[in-house]
Amino acid sequence: MLVQICVTLLTTALLVASACYTDSPPEQRWWAAGNVAVSAGMVMCNVDSLPLLMHSVVGYGVIGFGIALVLRGLRVYCQSTLSWTTIAIITGIVLAISAYYTLVAPSLRARLCFSGFYFALLNWMCAVAIARRGSWRISGIAFAGFVLLGLALFLRGAHLLANDDPAGTANSLVIGLSALVVPLAQICIAFGLILMVMWRYAERLRRLSTLDALTGALNRAGLEMQGKRTGLRAQRGGRSLAVIMIDVDYFKVINDTYGHPVGDEVLRHLARLVRLELRPHDLLARFGGEEFVLVLDGVDLPSALKVAERLRARIEYEMVEFDKLSVRYTASMGVVCSDQHDYDLIRLISAGDAAMYEAKRAGRNRVAVG
């Protein structure tokens, strides 16, 4: 028990330290607060000098409250939540169990058994919350920790319930194994939770480094990274690779007439329209200013021309609504294909750019082939 308390305190300190900075995510703070409560409850349950009510009832309630806070953090991590009413119910149930077997039908063995079953159930609820999120490579360690911790608590409770001899129970193999598994599971949970946050930050950094903040399309760095892979994949598969360059006509006039917020909304609107044409393996990037690149894997030149013409007509037809203003705009496009320009993405973009400017010179709001 002393080892378990020490491991709980150390893992709690680790979670608290990882959550003690200004921009820490809310779920991390819930995990830290929950582990602090669990640690406090375990200490209360093992200090015999405390009053009976604190030692045998309130301590269990504090542990249940702490696990409920951890569950709330997991739900927040999964873009959900756990209401304070549910947290109160979770805490109230364990208080009722411990109070019944302390004050109404005093039995240390029954209190340990049924509170152990209940804490096992709460840990399995935490595991289920993680499982619903998926991404086993990221959350598998924490999931395994919660499952193991729940299993150890359940087996220990079942063993205590089945054995009346306290001396034999204390020296049994099940109790010894559970004493080993519980600290290991706590360590898995602590490191698993921190790993989940690290992966989320890594994904956020990846998005910041490869996506355009205004439109959500790839930026030039993201296009260079993913475009090379798309080109190589198409080349190896013997498929055509088409590039469509898109530029908003008279974008400076839109900004000067209606203001930059309207211009930004036009770019977002254009990105939304283009995404309607995207398949899962196609790429959309903001190449600079009001210029976008659409990379189509497995599309030859005639098919790419149909896509571009469909986009051009839809853009011309659509209306941008922003702050009681209605704005129409058009776009010029240049279409090129690897059948004529090979698979080098830089060369395709350059040829597509030249075709797009040819469309602008020809009167704008049209599609040109490079």
Catalytic residue numbers, as ranges: 290
Tell which phi-psi region holds residue 300, choosing left (phi > 0), alpha (psi between -120 and 50) or beta: beta
Tell which phi-psi region holds residue 165, choosing left (phi > 0), alpha (psi between -120 and 50) or beta: beta
- Nearest partner of 47 among 104, 7, 1, judged by Cα: 1
Segment 51-56 long-range contacts (CB within 8 Å, at least 24 positions apart): 52/102, 53/102, 56/98, 56/102, 56/111
- Two tokens, residue 235: 């080349």
Segment 173-181 long-range contacts (CB within 8 Å, at least 24 positions apart): 177/152, 178/152, 178/153, 179/1, 179/3, 179/4, 181/148, 181/149, 181/151, 181/152
The one-letter code for the residue type at 25 is P
- Two tokens, residue 70: 């951890």
Distances (CA, A) of 312 to 162, 308, 333, 366: 75, 6, 8, 7
Tell which phi-psi region holds residue 313, choosing left (phi > 0), alpha (psi between -120 and 50) or beta: alpha
> Using CA atoms, how far apart are residues 99 and 115, in angstroms rounded to an integer?
11
Q: What 3-state class would DSSP assign to 76?
A: helix
Longest dimension (CA), the chain: 95
> Using CA atoms, how far apart are residues 10 and 6, in angstroms rounded to an integer?
6
For residues 64 and 18, the answer to whether their CB atoms sit within 8 Å is no
> Using CA atoms, how far apart are residues 44 and 55, in angstroms rounded to an integer?
6
- Two tokens, residue 138: 């990221």
- Two tokens, residue 308: 């571009």
